[in-house]
Structure 1
Amino acid sequence: MKLKELMGNYKPETDYEGFATNDDYVLAIDAGESTSENDFEVVELGVSGLDSQMNPITQDKTYIRAGQSTMKTGTQRSFKVSGDRYIGDKAQDFMLAHNMKYGTGNGVVTDYVYFCLLNGKGEKGKVSIIVNSDGSGNAGESSAVDIELKKSGSLPTEYTYTPDNARAAVRANAKE
């Protein structure tokens, strides 16, 4: 499902206040055919777990009379996608393609957006796709997948999804 299709059912409110569930977050990737974020493929079909992690990088030092001190030197953003293999889902098919499973370097890097459906706020950046398992499990069970997406290159930028952007993209595509 494309991001613009998903967001046709939602209207983020920038001033939203309240609790959020994991289902309120969207991860969408460029599956190689996108001209804008609205054409990114949503990572959701067959996904039972989307673990979004901020992995801080720190350096510990001990100073005379001050003791131990920790300095944060960076952050490695990562997403862990787990669930059942769904053949025909463009996001899974892209991430589990032969060239992604065995690729290296920039060949496995793609653009992503990650944001909250409730307020539209999140981030945009690049990730390396790392396939840990392309199908596993016991006889008679669904085939399980385990994929990691880790920040690649420069820091992600702030991103805000707005309904106006989605409507403009839908109108532009309808004219073509």
Structure 2
Amino acid sequence: MPEIVLNYDYVLQINTTPEAETGTYADVKKGFDNIAEALNEVVEQSSYLGDGGYGSSEVTGGQLILTLTGKRYTGDPAQDYIFSDAVYYNWGKARKTDARLICPDGSVISCPVTLAKVTRSGGAANSSTAVSVEVHFNGKPAIIDTRLASLQIGSLGLTPAFDPDVLQYTATATSSSDSITAAAQDSNATVAIVNGSASVTSGGDATWVSGKNTVKITVTNESFTRTYTVIVTYNS
């Protein structure tokens, strides 16, 4: 059944220590109540002699920009970094950091960013302090994928049928063991398979006990993971 996607299902993280070798990422959430995404496409429009006055368009480029608005909360790591004096009153390198957007499907968009149009005060005297910032993605974002491309347990049918975005499955075994094969979408990701407490190499056999067996397949890409679960029922 189709499901609606809510804005709070997305998690935006900002690196609050861009000068460090290993960044410290904080969730951008407290105080921000609105986020707008724009790709800022560059459109080239052309009309040729043989087109009878009609034109055609080509999208030749763009830049992803997220605009965040809300109210100021002190003590929140992301807000304290974005609206700090070190960022607000300086330009160039001081405005550059890294951000990543964790999507509801588990994929992660990662990219160096520039913090622009930072506004850290404003509003009526008896209202909360209004704030805003634009997060400009610099260059093409990298997609960190933690999805499986395929999952097969012997000749067993999975219920529901395998879908990279579905994490829970059931299956019924008719013999005491079956091979488990799983492959990740991203060649940089690793796949770990565990049947109960026993590790299984992709392509290797899992041994079933009578009753329900819990198989977990975890995909790891950089520091992000996604775990698929298959409950295999075997009646010996």
**Shared fold (TM-score greater than 0.5)?**
yes
| Match in the other structure for 1:119 | 105
Q: Does 1:30 align with 2:15?
A: yes
Contact 1:51/1:81 (<8 A) preserved: yes
CA distance in 1, matches of 2:2, 2:142: 23
Q: Secondary structure at the match of 1:19?
A: coil
Contact 2:83/2:118 (<8 A) preserved: no
Contact 2:118/2:133 (<8 A) preserved: yes
The equivalences for 1:132-171 within 5 A come to 132-152=118-138, 154-160=139-145, 165=223
CA distance in 1, matches of 2:7, 2:21: 25
Q: Secondary structure at the match of 1:65?
A: helix
Q: Secondary structure at the match of 2:64?
A: strand
Give the one of 91, 107, 132 matched to 1:104. Answer: 91
TM-score by length of 1: 0.75
CA distance in 1, matches of 2:21, 2:101: 16
Higher-Rg structure is: 2
| Match in the other structure for 1:95 | 82
Q: Secondary structure at the match of 1:150?
A: strand
> CA shift at 1:34, angstroms?
7.5
Contact 1:83/1:144 (<8 A) preserved: yes
> CA shift at 1:155, angstroms?
0.9
CA pair 161-25 structure 1, distance change in 2 beyond 3 A:
farther
* Structure with more of its chain in helix, by fraction: 1
| Match in the other structure for 1:79 | 66
| Match in the other structure for 2:29 | 44
> CA shift at 1:94, angstroms?
0.7
Which residues of structure 1 form unaligned runs of 5+? 1-15, 168-176
1:50-109 alpha-carbon deviations (Å, 9 max, x no partner): 212222111112111223111111121011111010011111111111121122223211
The equivalences for 1:11-22 within 5 A come to 18-22=3-7
> CA shift at 1:115, angstroms?
2.1
CA distance in 1, matches of 2:27, 2:58: 36
* Structure with more of its chain in strand, by fraction: 2
1:115-153 alpha-carbon deviations (Å, 9 max, x no partner): 21x32113100111014421111011000101111112x
CA distance in 1, matches of 2:224, 2:93: 29
Equivalences, count:
148
Q: Does 1:64 align with 2:49?
A: yes
CA distance in 2, matches of 1:84, 1:142: 6
Which residues of structure 2 form unaligned runs of 5+? 148-217, 226-236
Q: Percent of pairs identical after alignment?
A: 25
CA distance in 2, matches of 1:74, 1:101: 29
CA distance in 2, matches of 1:70, 1:127: 29
Letter in 1 for 2:44: Q
Contact 1:96/1:131 (<8 A) preserved: no
